[in-house]
Amino acid sequence: MILEDLHTHSTFSDGRGTVQENLDAAVAVGLQRIACVDHVRRDSDWVPGFVDHVRRVARTYPLDVLVGVETKLLDDRGTLDLPPFLPGVDRVYVADHQVPVPGGIAKPQVVRRALRDGSMHPDEVIATLVQATMRGVAGCPLPVVIAHLFSVLPKVGLFEDDVDLDLLDPLIGAAVDRGAWIELDERWRCPGPRVVARFAAAGIPVVCSTDAHTSEAVGQYTWAPDVLDALDVAGRAA
């Protein structure tokens, strides 16, 4: 049984449940730890109010409640779409919402066409994505959660099996240096056991989340337990 959900969205961004409704749902399904996480951009000025609201609501719940913000990569240098003022935030969730390219980001459909016509190569796309994530983790001012790593790959017609695991080593090194976590994201069903095992072998904490955008989805897992089982079997075999 998974007793945490470390990525839940509320009405502060694009979630449909309030913070209170999400915490109620967490208690109802027997969770012990939850993270309230909402999307930010550079001009998001509501973060202090969000943090204060979560802290006040959480006082009445028998839960370990973390506060996070989710930001996207803006280019291949790992620039984050993050406001400069983040008082009280526990973790920044760094995510690959689109595809980092030199000088900016590209929509998945653009990259898919470029892969099809040969103007981009799969190895180039994957290597740039990993490098941008590494730079985002290394340059983030707060502790990081690497959020739904490789969720963008299927959108461009690529998959985790296309990833050379050796490419992950610089990202893993940055994660170790910065005390980052890697999440198993139920909503996007990534990263899978092959990738997560590489992070876990380096001692990086693997945390579970639903990436819930409704209260009904909080703590509801079907995919993540199988990944944890696969990791456990791999660990015993090693």
pLDDT string in tens for the chain (238-residue length): 899 999 999 999 999 999 999 999 999 999 999 999 999 999 999 999 999 999 999 999 999 999 999 999 999 999 999 999 999 999 999 999 999 999 999 999 999 999 999 999 999 999 999 999 999 999 999 999 999 999 999 999 999 999 999 999 999 999 999 999 999 999 999 999 999 999 999 999 999 999 999 999 999 999 999 999 998 866 655 4
Separation between Cα atoms, residue 27 and residue 33, nearest integer Å: 9
Instruction: Supply the CATH classification number for the domain 4-237.
Output: 3.20.20.140
Separation between Cα atoms, residue 63 and residue 122, nearest integer Å: 43
Q: What are the Cα distances from residue 227, in Å, to 7, 52, 144, 195, 221?
A: 17, 35, 22, 11, 11
The overall pTM is greater than 0.95: yes
Domain boundaries, the chain: 4-237
Return the residue matching tokens 């204060």: 52
Helix (H, G, I), strand (E, B) or coil at 144: strand
Bridge partners (DSSP) listed for residue 101? 104
Separation between Cα atoms, residue 181 and residue 161, nearest integer Å: 22
**Strand-pair category, 99-101 with 104-106:** antiparallel
**Region class of 12: left (phi > 0), else alpha (psi between -120 and 50), else beta:** alpha
Separation between Cα atoms, residue 116 and residue 110, nearest integer Å: 10
